[in-house]
A and B are shown apart, each in its own frame.
Chain A
C-alpha cells in the first residue's frame, strides 16, 4: 500500500535566542526550519541531506515530538501530531521512533543494556515478558544475549548504535527516524549497521526518514532524496535522478566537493564548483534566495526574490529561479536593475 505515512506542510521552527534593540526589542530568531513541505510514502526510505545549519536534525526532533512547530503541520496517517501540543497519545509515541546520531550519549551510561531495552517494553508492551523480549531483541540485531548485563561503555561504537536501533524497534514502530546513524562510526562498521537497518526494514515493513550529510551513503540507501540549505528544501528527486541529474546549484556544489575513492566516481561527479565563502548563520539568513551569497550562477533576481519550488521533470522539483523563470525574463530583470542603479543620484 503506498499511502502517505507522513505529510509535512509548510513547517517552520524558529528559536528565539535574544532580542535586538532597547525599546522595540525585536526578537532575534534562528530560523532552523523555514517553510518545509514534503510527503513520505509507506515503506520508503526518504533521505534528507544537508550541512550544518540546514535544519535537517530539527525536522527529526519535531517529528518525534521533542520540539513543537512554530508554524505548519505534520500529519501521521492523517492524524495531526501536534493536536495537543507536545503531548502525544501512546499510540503515536509507539509508532514514531528515533535513532540519534551519537550512540555515546543516547544510551544512559548508568543503565545496563537490559534496563535500556526494557523501558520502551514496560511502557508500550506490558503484555510481553520483558526479559524474554529483551533477549529476542538482541537476537534480532545479532548481539549475544550476555550483552544485556553490560553497561554502554563496555560496548564499541557500532554495538552501541545497534542497541539504539533495537531500542527504537522495541515498540514495533511504523516510522523510524535515523539521524546520522553511522556518522560517528568507522566505515568498516557502517556497512554492518546499514545492512542491519535494511534487513529490519524489509522484515517489519518500516518507513525510514534517513538523515545524513554523507552523499555517497545516501546514494545507496534512499529511494528519494531531499537536500536542505538554511532551513529550506532546495531540491527533491528520486535517488538516481538526484545524483545523475542534479538541478539546484547547491546540490551540484555539494556533489562536486565530496571526496571519493575510485576513478569512476570521480568521473560521475559534476564538474568542480569551487565553493567560496562561509555558510551563513541561520540567525542571519540572506534575503531573496538564501543560497545566493555562494551561488556561482547568482542573478539579480536571486538577491531580492525567494524562489518557489518548481517541477523540472516528473518527480523532480527544485527551488531556483533558473527553473522558475525563462532566461529572457531573468536577463530582463538584471537589465532593469542595472538601469535603476545607473539612475540613482551619485553621492
Chain B
C-alpha cells in the first residue's frame, strides 16, 4: 500500500471518507428517485397509508381498541345487537361485544397469518425456483418442478380443508395448511424468471469470470427479480388473509372467542339484513386490508421496475 493510501488517500482527489460520503449521497438520490416512481400514482400512497394504519392498529390493538376485554370471554346481553353509535362505532354483536374492537384485534391475526406464511413460503419457493431455473434442462430442474407440479395440482382449498380437518382447528394449523399450498407459486414465478435470465450476458459474464453458483443466483440474478417477487408478496398478503378468512368462515381457523374477521362475517350472516353491522363491518375490514395491499403492490411494482434502457 502506498503512503497516500495508508493515509486514506486513494487517488489525487479521493479519500476513503469521501468515497463513503459519495456512496451515501448516491444512495439517498436513489431513494428519492424510488419515492418519485412510487408516488406517481396517488392510489399507491393511499394503499401505503392504509397498510401503515392497519399495521399500527394491529400492533397497538390493546391500547387503541375501545373495549379490549371484549376479545376474551365476555357477554353483555344488555348491550347486545346494538346498532352503530358513539359508544360502539361499529355496533355490538349478538352477545354484546364491541365490533370495532374485535375488528382491530382481528387485524392482528390476519396480518400475523400473512407474515408467517410469507416468511416461510417466499424463501423456500424462491430458492427452489432459482435452483431449478438455473439448472434448466437438467435432472435438478425436472425433479424440483415435478414436485412443484404435484403440489400445484391439488386444489388449494381442498388441501387446506383436509389438513385443517385432520388437525385441531386453530390459527397455527390453519397457517401451516396455507403455507403448504402456497410455496409452489413462488417457485413457478422465479423458475420462469431464472430460466430466461441465465442467458443474459451479465450472467455469462459472471460465469466466464469464474463466479460461484451461489454468487450468480443470489447476487446477480435475484436482485433482478425483486420487482415481481415483492409485487406478488404484496398481493399475496391480501390473498392469504382472504383464504384465512375462508378457513375461519368454515370453522377451521381461529378458535372462538378470539376474533377472526372470517368468523365474524360467518356468524353475523344469519342476522342480515336487520342487524347488518354484525357482518358488514368485519367484511369491510377484509376489503380495506386486501385493497390496501393491492394498491401498495401496484406502487411497489412501479417503484421497483428497473430503469429503462
Question: Residues of A contacting B1 with CB < 8 Å?
Answer: 129, 132
Q: Which residues of A approach B to under 8 Å, CB–CB? A: 61, 64-66, 88, 90, 93-94, 97-98, 100, 102, 104-112, 119-120, 123-124, 129, 131-132, 135, 139, 145-146, 148-151, 153, 164, 167, 171
Which A residues lie within 8 Å of B201 (CB)?
100, 102, 105-106
Is the pair A110, B306 in contact by a Cβ cutoff of 8 Å?
Answer: yes
Given A129-B1, A151-B307, A105 and B202 touching (CB < 8 A)?
yes
Given contacts A100-B205, A107-B202, A119-B206, contact A145 B5 (CB under 8 A): no
Task: Tell whether A110 pairs with B208 under 8 Å between CB atoms, given A105-B200, A132-B10.
Answer: no
Chain A neighbourhood of B309, CB < 8 A: 104, 153
**Residue ID in chain A nearest B226 by CB atoms:** A110
Determine if B16 is an interface residue (Cβ-Cβ < 8 Å). Answer: yes
The residues of B with any CB-CB pair to A shorter than 8 Å are: 1, 5, 10-11, 13-14, 16, 19, 22-23, 26, 30, 200-202, 204-211, 215, 219-220, 223-224, 226, 306-309
Q: How far is the CA of A291 from the CA of B226 in the complex (A)?
A: 48
How many whole Å from B251's CB to the nearest CB in chain A?
A: 46
Known: A109-B224, A135-B10. A98 touches B206 (CB 8 A): no
Question: In terms of DSSP, what is the predominant structure of the interface of chain A?
Answer: helix
Complex Cα spacing A108 to B11, Å: 26
CB distance from A195 to the nearest CB of B (A): 23
Give the total number of A-B pairs whose CB atoms are below 8 A apart. Answer: 90
Which of B22, B208, B306 meets A65, CB within 8 Å?
Answer: B208
Name B223's closest neighbour in chain A (CB-CB): A110
Are A123's CB and B209's CB within 8 A?
A: yes
B interface, over-half SS: helix
Q: Would you list 29 pairs from A and B whose C-beta atoms are within 8 A, ordered by A residue?
A: A66-B207, A88-B210, A94-B210, A97-B208, A97-B209, A100-B204, A105-B201, A106-B201, A106-B202, A108-B206, A110-B226, A110-B306, A111-B219, A112-B26, A119-B209, A123-B211, A124-B209, A129-B1, A131-B10, A132-B5, A135-B10, A139-B11, A145-B14, A145-B19, A146-B22, A150-B26, A153-B306, A164-B205, A167-B209
The 10 closest A-B pairs by CB, nearest first: A110-B223, A106-B201, A153-B307, A149-B26, A108-B202, A93-B210, A105-B201, A100-B201, A120-B209, A64-B208
Which B residue sits closest to A106, measured CB to CB?
B201
How far does the alpha carbon of A292 sit from the alpha carbon of B275 in the complex, in Å?
88
Shortest CB-to-CB span from A87 to chain B, Å, is 10
